[in-house]
Structure 1
């Protein structure tokens, strides 16, 4: 459920891998499906054909990246085939191109009776040499990688053909990618720091540590902000910095050198100030606007937004103004930080006006917390207000724990 409470955390991410040119997981058929009518992961210009079929049984598993959906089934009939056309590898050097796929074989005696060939013109096909990983066993899935023989061309064709009447084969997760062993840079997890924390839109600085550099200059770019710091091409270990990124705006940083390419994702922090005490918020935000997008509240997680609604609440003896915040089921939770207090100071009080407009979908006696005070840690609760349905009305409960029996009308 959406909640309004007080906490702070930050998410950042990094993606580093060989550069994928093409990948196919064979879709998710509900039953045996001809290749011609199967809904594949890729559409034009990629074209699929052949006399094998797509199955939803014995799904791929046991190797990194196994999609576990549909797979190409080659029964023990010699000549059954599966052809992929339209893969463009022309931007890459043949020496860096590799092909990988998940393969299932049904019997111990089977070896490489499923032949794999490549072609640049659709007429002349060249067989590739491959083997299953040592110790992969039989009647199971294994990831096969072919590191040589993949041509650089605008229309790469890959053909898989059954050549035996004894063993059955399955195929899944076909991937063509570029891998250069000289690409040794390892980007670390990025960190972010606010340049200021005001009620205006501030900027922040992102720092990306790296290791394994020194193999030649990289071109480092960012979708926003100014790139600085160390270049992975000149030193082994260092830090790339991106400065001047607007608060609330994420960034994508790329490192490129010949066949080496890395992408680092920066998730923006909230550079929102700590509110002083006494704290008052009339929720006087434009109707329909997201409170988490303001400088006064921050989103604590993902989901649909908490929006301002035109429903100024009233209570006897209180003069209220502004609008209100609408909490309706699951979604983002909001937090507002305020000046730290200690046990040696006077007591801390919090109050708000609330109105329940509809709990028809709530199951009696299901309960949930909707307002929380913490000491800065997301799970260190100092006070939580719970609500639950009781017949045709509702009750509120107060606790510092994860549930409560302290309910009252």
Structure 2
């Protein structure tokens, strides 16, 4: 990979890192926010859920716009909107009180979700646009997933540390870190000419009806995409569900909070980060290998989570060990899905298709904490194991990408 492209990739890797921090670093401080704002547990969970829910709706729109107006332009707009939303939430927490503060925080989170829809989901197709070699594409996607999961590793520690200074500092820091990513992308990322060309030979904007019809036609031909969407959704559901559950267990049953709690939460997330990095290096351009690695990861994930429920693990370190193994499984799955979906779709439709995949993942992000707040103990782990088993079946029998290379576009 050329040195210049390494700088591009480093700048793009800042986007999933920062967008992940903007959401995940709030998870360990939600109980504190609940006490400070004097709100219910359900209201507290909405601080996470509304961010993901609005992204689900906006991501396909952002993908459509990125296909027509250029990836970099949409990414910069998305990051700017996310920064504005973070500023609103931070100021509301600082200057207002009670329900009025909570309402404005939620408004800021909604705006953040809109911005996030135009940032991280567009990075995946942009990586596919920037690199010609399939090996470079898979390596780049591995770096993006590693950055995403590193953000999750860093989030609980950073969120807990910032909250020790001022409880709303995790919210107020979001516009600052978003600005850093805006600067990096604006000055370091050089996109291929065809992705942002404005000359008369550029692809014209399709009417929405034509766009929907063409997308539906593609999905009808490549039915394996539905399996990837479902697996991505269920993987993120499991990840955020067990994070929320572990956060609650640490505080309620073990009396662990603050930075110590953040460090413990980072252990299973570090497994995802390391596993994603290694997977991105080895997956290459072989679609069969991508599928095999995905199947292995889902098998590991299912067995580890089922063991948590079956043995009703009470010892903290035994539970963490099983969750660490689960993290390895998820880390094998995510980069493989990214590579399958990027290598299997032509460039001109890549933004739209990968944005639908990102929407599916955000559905899992939104549902995980909500379901984990309702179910506990064995029933929750059995639900996660069942989701992993369903994903494994889909990977085995439904993922059938064409073995033929995609034509250049």
Larger relative helix fraction: 2
TM beyond 0.5: no
TM-score (norm 1): 0.18
TM-score (norm 2): 0.18
Larger relative strand fraction: 1
